[in-house]
A = this chain, B = another copy of it.
Amino acid sequence: MNGAEALVRTLAECGVDVCFTNPGTSEMHFVAALDRLDKIYCVLALQENVATGAADGYARMMGRPAATLLHTGPGFGNGLANVHNAKKARVPMVNIVGEHATYHIKHDAPLTSDIEAIVSPVSHWVKTSMTADDVPIDAARAVAAAGRWPGQIATLILPADCAWNDTVYLGVPILPDPPEKVDPADVDAVVKALKSGKKSVIFMTGEILTEPGLTLAGKVRAATGVDLMTPTSNRRIDRGVGRVPVMRLPYVVDLALETLQDYEQIILLGTTQPVSFFAYPNKPSLMAPEGCDIINLAGPEQNTLMALELLVDALDAAELTPEVATRADPIDFDAIQGEITPDTIAAALAAVMPEDAIIVDESITTGRAFFPQTVGAPPHSWLQITGGAIGDGLPLAVGAGIACIDRKVIVLQADGSAMYTNQALWTMAREELDVTILLFSNRCYRILEGEMKNVGVEEPGQVAKDLFSLSDPDIDWCLMANSMGVNAAKVTTAEGLVPAMETALEFEGPFLVEIEF
């Protein structure tokens, strides 16, 4: 058995059953082992940011890591942005990065780079195997590191000779280190705060936004009237009819400040205090109003679920029934007419969302109305771009589609962001993933037009206009999708939205709806 085979066997034994990859020469022994053993399902991506984003989406839905297999430092570099997004979401991921044979590195061949240096800024755990015997135990440790609560990025660098030399070892599953304990004193402090009568909000993210976290949070609300709010971007929120609804902090700084202005206490659960996405001259970085108390119930590395359980017990709220979202009023289809706007798109989306959909939201400016309008939609999961690095929507959808073959994936996709990783369309076609892409073609980086105003430029000149515009030439998204084997249709009026979405949703497989407005 060579090191590559020991690696595949160990990963599979540790529960890694999917590998998103674009391999190169230095990974050929690993590919040969994947091929021979056929224990891990391999998904080809035509650019690495698709592979890493897909691994992220897979883990968000499965609660355990997928592997990526990437080709040396530049290959990892191509996928770095979506590893960054996954790291910010605290999603488990195991990256295998091929490296030159150990003795070859010193000769500085063209693809030689300092791989540890490239991967480290976006990895929680990094190791380079030095012999074939190291590989299986390093692999088991990588999976354990990835699985550490609430999820970590583990990157194992695999020199080619460690893959092709022989070993007799196999790795066995290692239990991840447990989450950090919750301090009962912190729970007591929160109980006291919640009983103080001050206006309060629990600001929370992570595991807590799926079951059983949501129900526990709902019981705390039922007992105390506290509000529940998430950061702007979250790795996954399970929501819709029957689920405890949560508010979301707006992206736009002024709206965020307004949303939080009346709170006297912010209780943190699995996150840090509200911070603006970017800094602006003469605006604060921190969004909490002056004098507002910031109280930590449990940080991201602590067991946020246990913290909520303790809180529910301390409040004697275990038997309370949380308030959940109810079915929204039937959509008035006649109201979805005229110009296509974010509001008409949101109404159409709410009208057609099927049961148990997975919504991948990289809608940026177009999507600001989507979240509130879908609170009463059928139950669904909502995935967001968590690190601000655009180009995550289509890849997340690939991973979610591989993870949940029985759930419809709907991507709310801004055009500028979609261009970053358009190669994901090809993987959707090859894997016949059941994905509907709503492609919002406003032919500009609309968000930057707004940000330009924020820096005091009311009337940008031609240089700036050109840098914000995706026109000249316009991108034809139907042709783009067709070129990679994905069916597509274009809609240019609000009346066309619901029929086009229904057509796409009825199709089993990837279908792109270009929404031009």
Report which A residues bind B (CB closer than 8 A): 21, 23-26, 28-29, 31-32, 34-36, 38, 42, 44, 46-47, 49, 72-75, 77-78, 80-81, 84-85, 88, 100-101, 103-104, 107-111, 113-114, 117-118, 120-122, 160-161, 164, 232-233, 272, 275-279, 281, 285-286, 386-389, 391, 416, 419-420, 422-423, 426, 429-430, 447-448, 451-452, 454-457, 460-464, 466-467, 469-470, 472-480, 482-485
Contact = CB atoms under 8 A, between A and B. Distances in A.
Contact of A484 (B35, B420, B475): B475
B121 A117 contact: yes
Nearest to A387: B110
Contact of A74 (B80, B448, B451): B80
A109 B278 CA distance: 7
Contacts of A34: 463-464, 467
Given A80-B118, A285-B107, A452 B73 contact: no
B78 A108 contact: no
A75 B111 contact: no
B160 A457 contact: no
Nearest to A84: B74
A35 B100 contact: no
A65 B388 CA distance: 29
Contacts of A475: 426, 483-485
Contacts of A160: 278-279
A152 to B, nearest CB: 16
Contacts of A483: 475-480, 483
B21 A467 contact: yes
Given A161-B279, A391-B78, A467 B23 contact: yes
B103 A285 contact: yes
A80 B419 CA distance: 18
A25 B448 contact: yes
B88 A84 contact: no
B74 A416 contact: no
Contacts of A275: 107-109
B109 A455 contact: no
A121 B422 CA distance: 27
Contacts of A474: 485
Contacts of A164: 281, 455
Contacts of A31: 448, 452, 463-464, 467
Contacts of A452: 28, 31-32
Contacts of A461: 35-36, 38
Interface centre among A28, A44, A114, A285 (most CB of B within 10 A): A28
A450 B416 CA distance: 37
